[in-house]
Amino acid sequence: MELRYGLNPQQQPAHAVSVAPGPGPLRVLNGEPSYINLLDALAGWQLVREAAGALGRPAAASFKHVSPAGAALAGPVDADTAARYGLGTTAPGPLAGAYLRARDADPRSSYGDLAAVSHPVDEELAELLGGLVCDGIVAPGYAPGVLATLSRKRRGRFLVLEADPGYVPPAADSREEYGLRLSQARDDVPICAGLLTDVVCGELPRAAADDLLLGLAVVRHTQSNSVCYVRDGVTLGIGAGQQSRLDCTRLAGRKTHTWWMRRHPAVRAMEFRPEVRRQDRVNWQVRCAEGDLTPYEAEALRGVLAGPPPSAVLLPDGGERQAWRERLTGVAFASDGALPFADNVEHAARYGVRWIAEPGGSIRSDKVVEACERQGMTLVRTGLRLFRH
């Protein structure tokens, strides 16, 4: 398979070759993939396939730069998300709903994403993608007429990839870096309920277990170090590729806080001028939710709103923002590696976390348990590290 270019435009030529006899895991139906497109598609497909298989519901992910910006299972689309995407009172179907929930986890990062879904794409999802800035999709199939709909997007350049659900990957993974070939056994331990049997402290309800399983599927296909906050089958914040696990926890926590603050009545009440595009509206809502507008941004915001900005969106962190953040609860937290210090638990508690899944095995694991008990959290040790590099 010839690629448009490698990681960067100057890296040409670039191509992909199946390492096993027969067709590879993906087939190009429309567009020309780049090196990163294929990395996103391969990781995205594995994530949604694994999540859907473990939880028995359609799954979707929004991928950017080889890590998910968001992931979700099929489920109710809240009023805030429905309004943002112009759904009105019509509830979307399971697959479109899963993708909307995944994309809305971090809609600023999902701009220009590669979508991944676990089930064949229907006309509803295809029409939805037509109105979004999305560069491509990977799915196990497409309903009749859907390929023609998608092929019109981006002036015919929209990337459509078909994954083969029956594809069996080789037993070993390998790659070449700077003239050195690295090889390892493929990590094929399934994400399943059996990983959540070692409940060290607290109780684990079924809904929380489902959220932890989704979180584990997400961190398995996210650049390490990685952690994930999940609630009701939706990722609220994903921390990827940080050298410090605490930095991962704090980064994902800030994203979780932003997700929650976007649902504050003051942010939802913002009325934009008619000419302001959807993505610009989304970006402004995110910035107001983050709560650290620069003086220039505060002035620019007044230029895009139909009226004065609600005072609460200009408040610094603390006060009303803190009171709203404390209303967030019922959040699950998954980590791809052992929590090395209790500080991860203390920071996670700021964002409504009540259930944690991590491999265990840190020399300070007893301190992690003490922190969970102090915060009233449930701790589950999976015994499974899920690093990805």
Catalytic annotation on 221? no
Residue 5 has pLDDT above 70, yes or no: yes
Residue 143 has pLDDT above 90, yes or no: yes
The per-residue pLDDT for 314 is 58
Catalytic annotation on 37? no
Q: How many CB atoms lie within 10 A of CB 151?
A: 16
Q: Does 189-260+329-381 match 2-168 at the fold level? A: yes
Q: What is the pLDDT of residues 148-199, one digit of tens each?
A: 999 998 888 999 999 999 999 999 999 999 999 999 999 999 999 999 999 9
The per-residue pLDDT for 24 is 87
Question: Active-site residue among 37, 153, 221, 225?
Answer: 225
Integer CA distances (angstroms), 378 to 156, 200, 229, 334, 368, in order: 50, 7, 14, 12, 11
Q: Share the mean pLDDT of the chain.
A: 93
Q: What is the pLDDT of residues 37-58, one digit of tens each?
A: 999 999 999 999 999 999 999 9
**Burial environment of residue 56 by CB neighbours within 10 A (0 to 12, 13 to 18, 19 or more):** exposed
Q: What is the pLDDT of residues 152-165, one digit of tens each?
A: 988 889 999 999 99
pLDDT band per the 50, 70, 90 thresholds, residue 252 = very high
The per-residue pLDDT for 233 is 97
Integer CA distances (angstroms), 60 to 94, 155, 325, 355, in order: 10, 25, 27, 23
Percent of the chain with pLDDT over 90: 80
Residue 91 has pLDDT above 90, yes or no: no
The per-residue pLDDT for 321 is 81
The per-residue pLDDT for 318 is 61
Q: Where are the domains of the chain?
A: 2-168, 189-260+329-381, 267-324
The per-residue pLDDT for 315 is 58
Question: Active-site residue among 30, 37, 64, 264?
Answer: 64
Closest CA to 114 of 97, 135, 94: 135
DSSP string, 100-128: HHHHTTSTTTTTTEEEEESS-B-HHHHHH
Q: Taking residues 367-381, report their average pLDDT.
A: 96
Residue 217 has pLDDT above 70, yes or no: yes
pLDDT band per the 50, 70, 90 thresholds, residue 235 = very high
The per-residue pLDDT for 312 is 60
Catalytic annotation on 389? yes
The per-residue pLDDT for 142 is 97
Catalytic annotation on 30? no
Q: Taking residues 110-123, report their average pLDDT.
A: 96
pLDDT band per the 50, 70, 90 thresholds, residue 88 = confident
The per-residue pLDDT for 137 is 98
E strand intervals along 104-219: 113-117, 134-139, 159-163, 172-177, 180-185, 199-201
Question: Active-site residue among 65, 283, 347, 367?
Answer: 65
Q: Using CA atoms, how far apart are residues 197 and 9, in angstroms rounded to an integer?
A: 48
The per-residue pLDDT for 359 is 96
Q: Using CA atoms, how far apart are residues 115 and 171, in angstroms rounded to an integer?
A: 27
189-260+329-381 CATH fold: Cytidine Deaminase; domain 2 (3.40.140)
2-168 CATH fold: Cytidine Deaminase; domain 2 (3.40.140)
